[in-house]
Homo-oligomer: A and B are copies of this chain.
Amino acid sequence: MDGLDLWHWLFGRPLKFSQAQQEEITTSEGLAALSLDALSSVAYGPEAIASVLIVAGAGALPLMMPITWAIVGLLAILVFSYSQVIEAYPNGGGAFVVSRDNLGIGASRLAAAALVVDYVLTVAVSIAAGIAALTSAFPSLLPYTVPLCLALLALITYLNLRGVGESARAFLLPALIFIVGLGGVIASGMIHLAAQPALFAKPPVAAQSVGTLLILRAFAAGCSALTGVEAIANGVPLFRPPRQLRAKRTEWLLGFILGGMLLGLSFLMVHFHLRPQPNETMLSQVMGQAVGKGWIYYTVSLSVTAVLGLAANTSFGGLPLLASVLARHHELPHLFAIRGDRLVYDYGILWLAVSSGLLLVVSRGDTFAMIPLYAIGVFTGFTLSQAGMVMHWRRLRPPGWTWKAAINGLGALLTGVATLVFVFSKFTEGAWLVAVTIPALIFLFYRIRRYYTKVGQILGVGETPPPVAIPSPPRVIVPFSGLTRVTARALEQGLAMSPDVVAVTVLFEPEADEVGAELQRQWAEWSPPARLVILRSQYHSVVRPILRFVESLEHLSSQRVVVLIPEVIPTRFGQSWLHNQIAMNLLTALRQRADVVVGIVPMHLETDE
């Protein structure tokens, strides 16, 4: 098995375009493939609220219920708005597409920057929460939180590099266990409560001073549960026809399930008098209270980890695609638009893995350390796509457009206000990082675009190139280190191109005279049809004198210069250590510094070693 075989075994054989997956999904499959990011956030959303409220004491925790109701109200508006996006953009309309079409390049850059931040955070938060579900169920794993997070990240990255990250069917079983399991847990918890009227009664709010700012911050933290409700609108083309109908149905289904779960879990948390614990998630506590720590608890816990892992996976579908679109619009390096052998965007996948990995290491895998960063990006996206839709309806004016525009307008207003609230209320908790990153990304997009525009002008992209003349033969320079067959071959290749061939070698100073005289004698004896130039060097460097010689030739005459570097190339990879790397070093230096054609004349060795 040679290196390439190993590579293919690890990452799969190259795929043809015709082998690209062409799945068409149904409503329930759509729920599994596109909604896990949103649904899985019930694992951390309610606890995020509690972890802010607890600052004012355990007596503030009953405030979870009204805050959750406010979040569910916002969810309803978002679901309503996004089903209109689905109707308007049958080819998929994320915040980026909608704002590019309706709000111009500035807004689309803002949307793109917010989305990039969001995708990275989704991966990091989902993985951290997934591992938290695991360590809650198996506390002995707790000391290995960060390594476990990185291992899960590596697994997801690997699967995506293989290009098997988006098989909707693989999502079905864990999604089903998750939804049915959590539904059962909530139902069972309610029955428990009903049996104990003392618990069922509404607990009073008992904190002395719960300020407005604290409630706003708790609301903002809870809004992390709304991430991902836009994913279905992005993925309309994946659905089986009638596409838009199925997609809208999926969106509404998601809204109902997510809203129900949020309300149910918050209710149980308040009435069971639970509070955040360092070593066990509140979801795990609810499950323990509702169904006891038996096999149901462990099965649902594992499905929570699996579903959060899959939620991270959906970002791996989203970010590389967004980056490739940006790259094709010249707003990110073109590398991000290159598809690898498995037809996935390798650079985007790797970039996402590295950034979210860094975030996981810095936050030590603590979900709630990252939550404050989360909502700003998400809600910026919400605001832009809703605002874009308002412009869309104003422009097209279909029947009943005022009504549609009003719904989207209300959505834009609410999410816009929410975004501002988040920036100010959570600024010191880490939101400043996002508030710095998003403008920095926008500036980066702008600079990259300007660079590419300028390069395109210089290269004359889109124009007919200048006419090509047939020039006179170039002067060919052949650097060599000894009179061997390699040098002879390179001279012959040079003579095939031009009669004007110069062989150049570098001798080091203490012995230059002696060695030079002997070399000239051997050259005369051999007498190839080329001139010999000996460069002397005070320094122990071959590259520098040759570079200087070539540069002086460029200045002396207008004749084109070609440098042909002989190189011995062993058959086996391991043997390349046995040959010094001067040829490639020289090529790199000349290509960077000199305006000459520079080539390698390879001589492949068969040594049977």
Chain A residues packing against B (C-beta within 8 Å): 14-18, 333-335, 338-341, 343, 447-448, 450-452, 454-455, 458-461, 464-474, 482-488, 491-493, 495-499, 508-510, 522, 525-526, 528-530, 538-541, 560, 562, 564, 567-569, 575, 577-581, 587, 591-592, 594-609
Contact = CB atoms under 8 A, between A and B. Distances in A.
A407 to B, nearest CB: 39
A3 to B, nearest CB: 11
Contact of A484 (B459, B567, B580): B459
A466 B492 CA distance: 11
Given A341-B540, A458-B606, A597-B601, 10 more contacts: A17-B540, A447-B609, A455-B607, A465-B484, A466-B485, A468-B530, A473-B496, A493-B597, A597-B599, A597-B602
17 contacts: A14-B541, A18-B509, A335-B581, A455-B568, A459-B486, A459-B568, A460-B484, A460-B485, A465-B484, A466-B485, A470-B496, A564-B599, A569-B591, A594-B602, A597-B599, A597-B601, A599-B600
A468 B580 CA distance: 26
Contacts of A14: 539, 541
Nearest to A487: B465
Given A485-B466, A564-B597, A454 B343 contact: no
B461 A484 contact: yes
A482 to B, nearest CB: 7
Nearest to A343: B540
A439 to B, nearest CB: 19
A341 to B, nearest CB: 7
Contacts of A18: 509, 538
A602 B473 CA distance: 18
Given A540-B341, A609-B447, A474 B454 contact: no
Nearest to A485: B460
What is the oligomeric copy number?
A: 2
A465 B485 contact: yes
Contact of A491 (B335, B468, B484, B497): B468
Contacts of A528: 465, 467-468
A596 to B, nearest CB: 8
A594 B602 CA distance: 8
A450 B539 CA distance: 31
Nearest to A604: B595
A597 B597 CA distance: 12
Contacts of A465: 483-485, 487-488, 526, 528
Among A575, A591, A601, chain B packs the most CB atoms within 10 A around the CB of A591
A591 B601 CA distance: 8
B451 A560 contact: no
Nearest to A497: B497
B560 A496 contact: yes
A350 to B, nearest CB: 13
B17 A458 contact: no
Given A465-B488, A491-B468, A577 B335 contact: yes
Nearest to A559: B496
Contact of A341 (B498, B539, B579): B539
Contacts of A603: 459
Nearest to A16: B538
Contacts of A495: 468-471
Nearest to A540: B339
A25 to B, nearest CB: 22
Contacts of A579: 334
Contacts of A448: 578
Contact of A455 (B17, B469, B580, B605): B605
B607 A464 contact: no
Contacts of A472: 496
Given A468-B528, A472-B496, A602 B595 contact: yes
B509 A497 contact: no
A597 B595 contact: no
Contacts of A493: 474, 560, 562, 597
Nearest to A609: B451
A328 to B, nearest CB: 13
Nearest to A564: B597
A577 B351 CA distance: 13
B607 A602 contact: no
A495 B470 CA distance: 6
Nearest to A599: B599
Contacts of A522: 464
A220 to B, nearest CB: 36
A487 B460 CA distance: 10
A462 B600 CA distance: 23
A589 to B, nearest CB: 11
A603 B538 CA distance: 32
A289 to B, nearest CB: 43
Contacts of A598: 599-600, 602
